[in-house]
Chain A
Amino acid sequence: MRANLRTLAGLALAVFLVLPFLPLVGWSVARGWRFPALLPDQVGVDAWAYALSPPSGVLASFAVTTLIASATTLLAILVGLPAGRALGLYRFRGRGLVFLLLLAPALLPGIAVVFGLHGILLRLGLAGSIPGVILAHLVPVLPYMTLVMAAVFARFDTAFEDQARSLGATPWQTFRHVTLPAILPGLMVGALFAFLVSWSQYLLTLSIGGGRVQTLPLLLFSFASAGRNDITAAIALLYILPGLMILAVTARRITGRGAALTERLHP
């Protein structure tokens, strides 16, 4: 009885989680789907064919979004890895303050910072450009990367580096052959999720890009407000692909029983 109840509750949860994807899949293959039809009048790949053809701009937008998210992730690694090392390995005065400064951009809504950010990037001559959007994305992405790396370095033993150095390795060799292999799994998880945080940005891109940088969510919104449900649905499904791929790489068993999950989550 109890087990049946559990299965039933699990089924309800699964349906709830899947539900919003169902009309998206339906619309993406629908050729006309008027009220009150439960299923599309006709099924075809028209929306997909249009979304994947050059005139729709979806592929170009996919490339721009990928470029921005990759560059943001790379910058976040370059800046966040050293900072994470400092926070994970050292106890120093003001460490709490640095943590607070890192948590704030991750927690404060984009709208709170976007106007000022636009002012700064305008002065730097970067408003309306891809580099400007990348710098803006760095604000919510960097904290995430740094906090993951801080957690990684908190479990890192520097004795291995000391041994490599005492055996004559250069700082680069030590990093390349000792430090990097040890932190790589954590770095990968941090990088993949940093990519997703940038990939999902809407308001920062809209504001800093000023309409000249068309990432996928912006394109998605313009098709949605034009009432093209079929193309909107196809783009929406394309847009979640990288997340799916990243999940396939990082998915783990979550049981609530065994050893701890260590990576930091974000809403």
Chain B
Amino acid sequence: MTDRTRLALLLAPALLVLGGLFLTGLGLTLLRSFRYMPALGLTEPDLAAYAAILTAPGFLASLAFSLWVAAASTLIAAVLALAAALLLRQTFPGRAVISFLVQLNLTVPHIVGAIGILYLFSQSGSFARLAHAAGLITTPAEFPILTQDPYGIGIILLYVWKELPFITLILLANMQTLGEDHEAVARSLGATRWQAFRHVLLPLLMPSLLAASALVFAFAFGAYEVPLILGAHAPKALPVLAWQASTDTDLATRPEAMAMAVVIALIGCALLAVYGRMLAKGGAGAR
């Protein structure tokens, strides 16, 4: 058996699964977004679904909402994760417990975290009760709306809680491969702690920080179950809007759901490109 045939045999099952399910699935979504559905008598592809979603007010509001939530969550999680990684690299009492908690959090499904956040921050949740006990409010309605709110605060809180450990672990893994030599050299040449961090460690961590951030952004942008629990009635997160359009009894909205899925896929592809570039730049920790 030549290497070529061996290679083809080894790769064939995976390519079959990914080609047959993933690529074909994307292709089918794309065809249907062009309103090409022979089963329904639609054989003339057109862009009507895209025109429809672009002129409907809900779509653009949802797109903006999902981009906002993803951007805010990613930025806050990335900054806090950087601080957490720097902290966990030091020795202090209780570090083992915290590094266990960081890893524990990674295994918790998003939907569980979302319910926990809801029970903490809703108007009758734990913090509202604490505010009542402190004499700040007398009824639940006086507590600020932090979950199922139009700004996505609850959703952002959940993503920060869930993705901070993810980015922290990637940064710690990257720091382990780097070791402390570079900083030690900078310090011995007279750099302050801050200078050594800012000009030596941070640039070295940047590729893996950006790669991890691209993953977090992609997830926060495209997740369905989190805004389902923590999102407001309007504006809906884009994945929620797309899913509802797809389950609408009016079959005419199906192509619009497909068009939204295509928009989501395109944004995902852009993030994939960022991620790929950052990995190529040598984000060893994120691999």
A interface residues (Cβ-Cβ under 8 A, vs B): 3, 6-7, 9-11, 13-14, 16-24, 27, 35-38, 78-80, 82-83, 85-86, 90, 92, 98, 100-105, 107-117, 119-120, 135-136, 138-139, 142-143, 146, 151, 196, 199-200, 202-203, 217, 220-221, 224, 229, 232-233, 236, 239-240, 243-244, 246-247, 251, 253-261, 264-267
Q: A116-B26, A236-B115 are in contact. Are A267 and B216 (CB under 8 A)?
A: yes
A24 and B115 contacting across the interface, CB-CB below 8 Å = yes
Cβ contact of A80, chosen from B3, B14, B140, cutoff 8 A: B14
Tally of contact residues, B, Cβ under 8 A: 114
A113 and B11 contacting across the interface, CB-CB below 8 Å = no
A260 and B176 contacting across the interface, CB-CB below 8 Å = yes
Chain B minimum-CB-distance residue to A202: B225
Which of B40-48, B50-58, B184-192, B268-276 touches A? B268-276
Contacts of A138 in B (CB 8 A): 17, 21
Is there a chain A Cβ closer than 8 Å to B71's Cβ?
A: no
Is there a chain A Cβ closer than 8 Å to B195's Cβ?
A: no
A13 and B284 contacting across the interface, CB-CB below 8 Å = no
Q: Whole-angstrom distance between the alpha carbons of A224 and B232 in the complex?
A: 16
Q: Whole-angstrom distance between the alpha carbons of A156 and B26 in the complex?
A: 35
Segment 233-287 of B: residues with Cβ below 8 Å from A = 239, 242-243, 246, 257-258, 261-262, 264-265, 268-269, 271-272, 275-276, 284-287
Q: A244-B104, A257-B180 are in contact. Are A113 and B25 (CB under 8 A)?
A: yes
Question: Digit string of B185-214 for contact with A (CB within 8 Å is 1, else 0)?
Answer: 000000000000000000000000000001
B219 and A109 contacting across the interface, CB-CB below 8 Å = yes
Q: A21-B116, A86-B11, A221-B229 are in contact. Are A257 and B258 (CB under 8 A)?
A: no
Is there a chain A Cβ closer than 8 Å to B218's Cβ?
A: yes
State the Cβ distance, B201 to closest chain A Cβ, in Å. Answer: 11
A240 and B92 contacting across the interface, CB-CB below 8 Å = no
Contacts of A224 in B (CB 8 A): 115, 118, 229
B102 and A17 contacting across the interface, CB-CB below 8 Å = yes
Main secondary structure of the interface of A (DSSP, over half): helix
Chain A minimum-CB-distance residue to B225: A202
B272 and A243 contacting across the interface, CB-CB below 8 Å = no
Segment 140-174 of B: residues with Cβ below 8 Å from A = 140, 161-163, 165-166, 169-173
A267 and B166 contacting across the interface, CB-CB below 8 Å = yes
A79 and B215 contacting across the interface, CB-CB below 8 Å = no
A86 and B10 contacting across the interface, CB-CB below 8 Å = yes
Is there a chain A Cβ closer than 8 Å to B224's Cβ?
A: yes
Q: Whole-angstrom distance between the alpha carbons of A86 and B276 in the complex?
A: 20
Cβ contact of A253, chosen from B96, B111, B112, B175, cutoff 8 A: B96
Contacts of A236 in B (CB 8 A): 111-112, 115-116
Chain A minimum-CB-distance residue to B238: A111
Is there a chain A Cβ closer than 8 Å to B15's Cβ?
A: yes
Chain A minimum-CB-distance residue to B85: A256
Q: A108-B222, A257-B179 are in contact. Are A217 and B111 (CB under 8 A)?
A: yes
A35 and B276 contacting across the interface, CB-CB below 8 Å = no
Q: Whole-angstrom distance between the alpha carbons of A9 and B284 in the complex?
A: 28
B225 and A203 contacting across the interface, CB-CB below 8 Å = yes
A35-B129, A254-B169 given. 8 additional CB < 8 A pairs? A6-B90, A38-B130, A80-B14, A110-B224, A112-B264, A139-B21, A244-B104, A253-B99
